[in-house]
Structure 1
Amino acid sequence: MKRVLMVLALCAPLSAFAEGAAKDPLTGGSAEAGAGKAAVCTACHGPGGNSANPEWPKLAGQSSRYISEQLHRFKSGKRVNPLMSAQAAGLSDDDIKDLAAYFAAQKTAPGVASEAAVPVAQKIFRAGDASRGLPACGSCHGPTGAGAAPAAYPRIGGQQGTYVANRLKAYREAAKGELEDGNFKIMSQVAAKLSDAEIEALSSYVGGLQ
């Protein structure tokens, strides 16, 4: 009996460590718990968060902090979408943390860029355009579009091109109004400097980044 108790005592710290290691470092959510909660998300975002519909974003491999922030924005009404606003309304804080952790842990399916997009998009993505005060996309989103998770800069590499184009146009439109400080305002100010042709080229280009 003493031997059994000693074994349990020795194993307890290891179990606690394993449980802690399973938590997402940015949100504290559980990917394991999120797997069950994500079942309803599959209808739009695809198995494992790899959407097949160009209108709906891939969530696989996305920054957990970014996903968490966006779900909170949908829930609060700061970001509005008929489908997502309704889905987020019933989520608890723990649900959001777990869903964010789950999708962040999934592997992103690569996309394909149009060769015609490269001449226009590559320069903007890598170097920006100083004459217009346009920063390089890669300065925030990284050279492969992987994003910067701690800053909630999202992964855009491999993302659906149509979704990216729609978001950039929405950012550009939002720049016409008053915006609170934060990443949304930053992106709106960037998108305001882009033409339709540049948005289309960038959207295709980032979809092919891996």
Structure 2
Amino acid sequence: MLRTSIVVAIAFSASAAVQAQSSKPDLEKGRQIAQQVCAACHGADGNSGSPANPKLAAQHADYLYKQLANFKVKEGAKQAERANAVMAGFAAMLSEADMRNVSAYYAAQTLKPSAAKNKELVELGQKIYRAGIADKNVPACAGCHSPNGAGLPAQYPRLQGQYAEYTEAQLVAFRQGERKNSAQMTAIAARMSDAEIKAVSDYIAGLR
């Protein structure tokens, strides 16, 4: 009986190891998807050439996967959690494995960061990012996204070096209720003015 239990345990462990190995993202397949599906907007290496499209290089894989999933309409839902006609079309083409693979591929790429452009906004942007806006109950961005904007894997996205224009557009979308996949960000953005959003977005672009 003991020998049988040992054999079963060994077989179970081997099966679990094989399953874990097979569930690992395939970076080569991710690279192929990036080149064929994503490169036109986000760059083959995740460094978008246009401020209208976010840089994906070095972004946390779990976060990228979540965004792709959010572009899809869930069963029983009337609309996607994150509405975007262009991305909805691309996301619909990807399987669960495809999303994992391309997310892991972009996460492994080296970010070519953007830069802050408006010196007049630096002081306000830095204050908001590091200390928040106390009288509006806006928390410091650094509390979730880290002091240097690296974020926390699987929880909060990397912000450092992102295009200011893109970050600003997303904060405005949260504020207006157009982007609905983070109740926390919707509440925060709702309490920020255009000037505050622009300042912190520009500051984020210069974070390293």
Q: Same fold (TM over 0.5)?
A: yes
Cα separation, 2, equivalents of 1:31 and 1:143: 30
Residue 91 (1) aligns with residue 88 (2):
no
Which has a greater percent of helix?
1
Residue 75 (1) aligns with residue 78 (2):
no
Percent identity of the aligned residues? 43
Runs of 5+ unmatched residues, structure 1: 1-12
Q: What is the TM-score of this pair, normalised by structure 2? A: 0.82
User: What stretches of structure 1 move > 3 A for 4+ residues in a row?
Assistant: none
The alpha carbon displacement at 1:161 in A equals: 1.1
Cα separation, 2, equivalents of 1:148 and 1:116: 29
Cα separation, 2, equivalents of 1:48 and 1:129: 36
1:189 corresponds to: 187
Matched positions, count: 184
Residue 30 (1) aligns with residue 26 (2):
yes
The alpha carbon displacement at 1:150 in A equals: 2.6
The alpha carbon displacement at 1:52 in A equals: 1.0
The alpha carbon displacement at 1:131 in A equals: 2.1
Cα separation, 2, equivalents of 1:28 and 1:170: 34
The alpha carbon displacement at 1:32 in A equals: 2.4
Cα separation, 2, equivalents of 1:83 and 1:122: 33
The alpha carbon displacement at 1:30 in A equals: 2.3
Residue 53 (1) aligns with residue 57 (2):
no
Runs of 5+ unmatched residues, structure 2: 1-13, 74-79
1:127 corresponds to: 131
The alpha carbon displacement at 1:154 in A equals: 0.8
* Aligned residue type for 2:48: S
2:167 corresponds to: 164
3-state SS, counterpart of residue 115 of structure 2: coil
Whether the 8 Å CA contact 2:115–2:163 is kept in 1: the answer is: no
The alpha carbon displacement at 1:130 in A equals: 2.2
* Aligned residue type for 2:81: K
**1:198 is matched with which residue: 176, 196, 199?**
196
Cα separation, 2, equivalents of 1:160 and 1:150: 21
Whether the 8 Å CA contact 2:34–2:44 is kept in 1: the answer is: no
Cα separation, 2, equivalents of 1:78 and 1:186: 14
